[in-house]
Amino acid sequence: MDPVLTPAGVRALDARLEGAGLLELAMEAAGRAVADTVQAAYPAGRVLLLAGSGANGADAYVAARHLHALGREVEVRALGVRHPLARKNRLRLRAAGVQTTPLGTSPAGLAALRRSLGAADVVVDGLLGTGFRPPLRPALAGVVAAMNAAGRPVIAVDLPSGLDAGTAEVNGDPVRADLTVALCGWKTALLFGPAAHLAGQVRLDGLRLPPGWALEGADAGAPADAEVAALLPVRAADAHKGTAGRVWIVGGHPGTVGAPALAGVGALRTGAGLVTVHSAAEVPLVMPELMVRRHADLAGFLDHVAPEDRPDAVALGMGLGPDAPALARQVLAWEIPTVLDADALQPELAGAGHGGCVWTPHPGEAARLLGAPTPEVARDPIAAARALQVRYGGVVVLKGGPSVVASAGGVQVARPGHPGMASAGMGDTLSGVIAALLGQGLGAAGAALAGVTLHARAGQLAGAAHGYGLSATDVGAQLGAAWLDLTGRR
Ligand SMILES: NC(=O)C1=CN([C@@H]2O[C@H](COP(=O)(O)OP(=O)(O)OC[C@H]3O[C@@H](n4cnc5c(N)ncnc54)[C@H](O)[C@@H]3O)[C@@H](O)[C@H]2O)[C@H](O)CC1
């Protein structure tokens, strides 16, 4: 599990490392990781390193020393030092034979910087890391603008300068990096929204810290594929449809009948033994294996389902229309594993969730549930998912690229899918996927995490063939392959 750290989490980790006498070693590992990344990605040519006054700048000094040891031609332009380890590592760099030049922010200083940028084959951005507080001061804004205008490849240390590590929002004009070496853990800015677009490709280096230290102070975890695969059930050879989970899809309303059909496909393609769509409208039979039952009075039908006839899991809300909250209350009262999506995601259901239920809002629905503007949700999806979980109970999947899963046990960030998944019906399919996993015995948090991961992987597989023309039907068709791919059980 990779950690996702806030700036406060980084500060606490730094203090712990400092107390244990390990901070200097962590910094040495950070600088070395940056140097190794430069060497692997841009093995030839002159390297210009820009060092700020804090620990981010110290990492750049260490990287410069390692690059020099590797025989690379390096130039270091630096602001004044404030962090004691920046001072120490600058002295070490000089002792190793590399002089540093002041990074001036006056017109003459910026002209000199532009000359250095013009002579460089790759630039290392070690100006500002997690210690940055927006907005960028005008003096440094000129430096960042010169870097962006130079058109040279940029490798950022920890995160591009000018990005606030704790938010997906972009203020002003930060460094645009081609590659970022994230240190110790992911940051919100490297995972979500417009901020993540500025980081380029991200490589995480754990700096060989004592096991668990970074994760203990983390805001969230980002599980590895193998950790998610381990959640998925292995079936006995004598399994039959009665043991693979009976799933009900409750959805559909005149005009929105495709939604429950897609959820049904999602459930079937995720291994549910028996899938029945219950709807007030005529739902198309998109797969003959899907059972479709139309009810003139859906609420009356649900009222009369005997406990022994209830399914193993339900997904409710997809295209269901205005009766969804009342119908959701009926099903929630059964206290069986339940996915609530789309029309069932209404503020009046606050507090109605139980431990076996999964709410699956996209950012717009999350904003409605929280009574907050959508940009606020997008700014910090981890905080939004956590707030939703506290308010609604159960488990929350805040959908996106990547999705966030919040449960009483903590928050996890799943792997992103494919940009082609930005199209109608993807969420309907996902609700069926999660319901199928609930029906096969996974707990709500495990089903949510494994569900979004399978769905994202299926999106990647289908996206390779269909690109931006990807449809939810294409994704549904790849769910079986995604399962095999994730588990290696081909
Ligand atoms: N545990 C870890 O993750 C490790 C991280 N390392 C690196 O440490 C930095 C964070 O270092 P810190 O000294 O706290 O802050 P910065 O270097 O990012 O910046 C401080 C510097 O920035 C100036 N500043 C702040 N806001 C602004 C602004 N708006 N405009 C201009 N300048 C600003 C401030 O005055 C300070 O001088 C982390 O990112 C990693 O790179 C460790 O090396 C290893 C352990």
What is the predicted pLDDT for the residue at 248?
98
> Whole-angstrom Cα distance, residue 119 to residue 124?
14
What is the predicted pLDDT for the residue at 244?
87
Cα of 382 vs its chain's centroid, Å? 9
Tokens for 217, please give them: 């102070």
* Nearest-atom index, ligand 1, CA of 214: 1
Count, residues in the chain: 490
Q: Is 299 helix (H, G, I), strand (E, B) or coil?
A: helix
When pLDDT is averaged across residues 340-365 and rounded to a whole number, the result is: 97
Who's near 154: CB < 8 A, 6+ residues apart?
122, 123, 124, 125, 147, 160, 175, 176, 177, 178, 179, 200
- 166: pLDDT strictly greater than 70: yes
Pairing of strands 338-340, 357-359: parallel
- 236: pLDDT strictly greater than 90: no
What is the predicted pLDDT for the residue at 268?
98
When pLDDT is averaged across residues 243-253 and rounded to a whole number, the result is: 94
- 466: pLDDT strictly greater than 60: yes
Ligand 1 pocket test, candidate residues 128, 161, 204, 205, most atoms within 8 A of CB: 128
Whose alpha carbon is nearest atom 40 of ligand 1? 56
Report the separation in Å between the CA atom of 10 and the middle of ligand 1, taken as the mean of its atom positions.
Answer: 10
Within the chain, what is the greatest distance between any pair of CA atoms? 84
Please, what is the Cα angle at 387 between 382 and 390, to 5 degrees? 130
- 303: pLDDT strictly greater than 60: yes
What is the predicted pLDDT for the residue at 281?
93
pLDDT digits (tens, 9 = 90+) for 22-60: 999 999 999 999 999 999 999 999 999 999 999 999 999
What is the predicted pLDDT for the residue at 161?
98
> Whole-angstrom Cα distance, residue 69 to residue 65?
6
Cα distance between the two ends of the chain: 24
| 192 known member of a binding site | no
What is the predicted pLDDT for the residue at 180?
98
DSSP 8-state secondary structure symbol assigned to residue 238: T
Residue type, 10: V
What is the predicted pLDDT for the residue at 226?
95
On average, the pLDDT of the chain sits at 96
User: Does residue 402 have a cis peptide bond before it, meaning omega lies within 30 degrees of 0?
Assistant: yes
> Whole-angstrom Cα distance, residue 294 to residue 124?
62
The answer to whether 179 and 190 have CB atoms below 8 angstroms apart is: no
What is the predicted pLDDT for the residue at 262?
97
When pLDDT is averaged across residues 59-67 and rounded to a whole number, the result is: 98
Report the separation in Å between the CA atom of 127 and the middle of ligand 1, taken as the mean of its atom positions.
Answer: 8
**Binning pLDDT at 50, 70 and 90, where does residue 347 land?**
very high
Angle between helices 23-41 and 84-95 (to 10 degrees): 50
Counting Cα atoms < 13 Å in the Cβ hemisphere of 178 gives 14
pLDDT digits (tens, 9 = 90+) for 100-143: 999 999 999 999 999 999 999 999 999 999 999 999 999 999 99
DSSP 8-state secondary structure symbol assigned to residue 186: B
The answer to whether 191 and 215 have CB atoms below 8 angstroms apart is: no
Q: Is 6 in the pocket of ligand 1 (CB under 6 A)?
A: no
What is the predicted pLDDT for the residue at 241?
87
Q: What is the pTM of this model?
A: 0.95
> Whole-angstrom Cα distance, residue 121 to residue 237?
59
| 55 known member of a binding site | yes
DSSP 8-state secondary structure symbol assigned to residue 269: T
Report the separation in Å between the CA atom of 136 and the middle of ligand 1, taken as the mean of its atom positions.
Answer: 13
The answer to whether 93 and 64 have CB atoms below 8 angstroms apart is: yes
What is the predicted pLDDT for the residue at 430?
98
Q: Is 185 in the pocket of ligand 1 (CB under 6 A)?
A: no
Tokens for 429, please give them: 């399919």
What is the predicted pLDDT for the residue at 83?
96
Ramachandran angles phi, psi of 473, nearest 5° = -65, -40
> Whole-angstrom Cα distance, residue 75 to residue 45?
11
Across the beta sheet with 122-126, the strand order is 100-102, 74-78, 47-51, 122-126, 154-157, 179-183, 201-205
pLDDT digits (tens, 9 = 90+) for 378-395: 999 999 999 999 999 999
**Binning pLDDT at 50, 70 and 90, where does residue 490 land?**
low
When pLDDT is averaged across residues 188-200 and rounded to a whole number, the result is: 97
Q: Is 67 in the pocket of ligand 1 (CB under 6 A)?
A: no
Report the separation in Å between the CA atom of 46 and the middle of ligand 1, taken as the mean of its atom positions.
Answer: 25
What is the predicted pLDDT for the residue at 142?
96
> Whole-angstrom Cα distance, residue 194 to residue 196?
5
Quick one: what percent of the chain has pLDDT higher than 70?
Answer: 100
| 407 known member of a binding site | no
Cα dist from 412 to 357, 364, 383, 389, 404, whole Å: 17, 20, 11, 13, 6
Quick one: what percent of the chain has pLDDT higher than 90?
Answer: 96
When pLDDT is averaged across residues 228-253 and rounded to a whole number, the result is: 92
State ipTM. 0.98
